[in-house]
Chains A and B, each alone.
Chain A
Amino acid sequence: GENVEQHPSTLSVQEGDSAVIKCTYSDSASNYFPWYKQELGKRPQLIIDIRSNVGEKKDQRIAVTLNKTAKHFSLHITETQPEDSAVYFCASRKSYQLTFGKGTKLSVIP
């Protein structure tokens, strides 16, 4: 089955700096890659997603890049703010199933 590796597991950045989280997937048939943000005690919320026919997508301070050949995708958050602090999960989708990475705990230090 699909395997998704996510790095780093924890990340601390100063407010205003950029944060990058990287994921790799194993199954080349995966075709959809969402990113979720989960704050403590809350449900995962979709923040951005990308499909396999697109290399990059941006939404304000958040961007995602996809390299199908290397089977990896990354989340970039610029100008981080304290409210960006949360756990971020990457995922890949194949056959109606999302496979998630283990998560990255992002701490933005004011």
Chain B
Amino acid sequence: KAGVTQTPRYLIKTRGQQVTLSCSPISGHRSVSWYQQTPGQGLQFLFEYFSETQRNKGNFPGRFSGRQFSNSRSEMNVSTLELGDSALYLCASVAGDGTDTQYFGPGTRLTVL
């Protein structure tokens, strides 16, 4: 099976812009979670989707949003970018059948200038 894929791998944006990141889970997996990784805060949970429904959301401002499509692909959007949004954004794929193992994608490195 192909692993979790994320596009793009690298992004450079300026403050005030918005960005959309994409994640394709492992084939057959129905759940996708998103995390932000920074040197200072570590890995922080953003949100989790299962069958197009957001089941849980972390403690991030409303500028961070996401969605999941019927083919389980997921996107996250960050509007009005701030310098502090520079981070590695990771998505994780879960089978969603009661198993818990999360498989991470390679991440999207976002730099906000």
- Name the distance in Å between A11's Cβ and chain B's nearest Cβ: 16
CB within 8 Å of A: which B2-45 residues: 31, 33, 35, 42-45
The reply on A86 being an interface residue by CB < 8 A is no
The verdict on A43 contacting B42 (CB below 8 Å), with A96-B31, A96-B33, A97-B58 known, is: no
Name the interface size band of chain A. Answer: 20 to 34
CB within 8 Å of B: which A25-57 residues: 32, 34, 36, 42-46, 49, 51
Q: Tell me what chain B mostly uses at the interface: helix, strand, loop, or mixed.
A: strand
Name B96's closest neighbour in chain A (CB-CB). Answer: A96
CB within 8 Å of B: which A71-110 residues: 89, 91, 93, 95-103
The complex places the Cα of A96 from the Cα of B102 at a distance, in Å, of 10
The reply on B105 being an interface residue by CB < 8 A is yes
The reply on B55 being an interface residue by CB < 8 A is yes
Within 8 Å CB of B64, what residues of A? none
User: Inter-chain contact count A-B, CB under 8 Å?
Assistant: 53
Within 8 Å CB of A44, what residues of B? 43, 90, 104
Q: List 29 A-B contacts (CB under 8 A).
A: A1-B59, A34-B100, A34-B102, A36-B104, A43-B90, A43-B107, A44-B43, A44-B90, A45-B104, A46-B101, A46-B102, A46-B103, A51-B100, A89-B42, A89-B43, A95-B55, A96-B33, A96-B48, A96-B55, A97-B48, A98-B35, A98-B43, A98-B45, A98-B92, A99-B45, A100-B35, A100-B43, A100-B44, A101-B42
- Is B102 a contact partner of A98 (Cβ separation < 8 A)? yes
Name B44's closest neighbour in chain A (CB-CB). Answer: A100
